[in-house]
């Protein structure tokens, strides 16, 4: 899981990730209180590089944590939303 770009984000941000094998992928975004703001279930994806665009316009300015679950593992990064 790579750092989102641009960060801070004020609109759309791109999130890149690489999968070592085929498997189930789920993205989640949480605020500082740990509240789940968004969940995207990508289902089964193939090995290799992937990316998606996340629109952050609906979120207040602040710090968020985004996670990518892949099979039984999870990686988390920090994202800043700035208006």
Q: Is 29 exposed, middle or buried (0-12, 13-18, 19+ CB in 10 A)?
A: buried
The one-character DSSP state at 32 is T
Q: How confident is the model at residue 83 (pLDDT cuts 50, 70, 90)?
A: confident
Q: Strand 36-45 and strand 62-70: pairing?
A: unpaired
pTM of the model: 0.93
Peptide bond into 82 cis (omega under 30): no
Q: Which of 2, 3, 1, 12 is nearest to 81 (CA)?
A: 12
What's the CA gap between 21 and 48, in Å, rounded?
7
Average pLDDT over residues 14-21: 97
Confidence at residue 59, expressed as pLDDT on a 0 to 100 scale: 95
pLDDT in tens, 21-75: 999 999 999 999 999 999 999 999 999 999 999 999 999 999 999 999 999 999 9
């Amino acid at each position: 899981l790579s750092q989102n770009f641009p960060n801070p984000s004020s609109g759309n941000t791109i999130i890149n990730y690489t999968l070592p094998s085929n498997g189930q992928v789920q993205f989640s975004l949480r605020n500082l209180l740990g509240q789940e703001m968004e969940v995207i279930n990508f289902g089964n994806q193939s090995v290799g590089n992937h990316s998606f665009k996340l629109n952050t316009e609906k979120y207040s300015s602040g710090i968020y944590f985004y996670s990518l679950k892949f099979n039984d593992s999870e990686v988390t990064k920090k994202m800043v939303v700035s208006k």
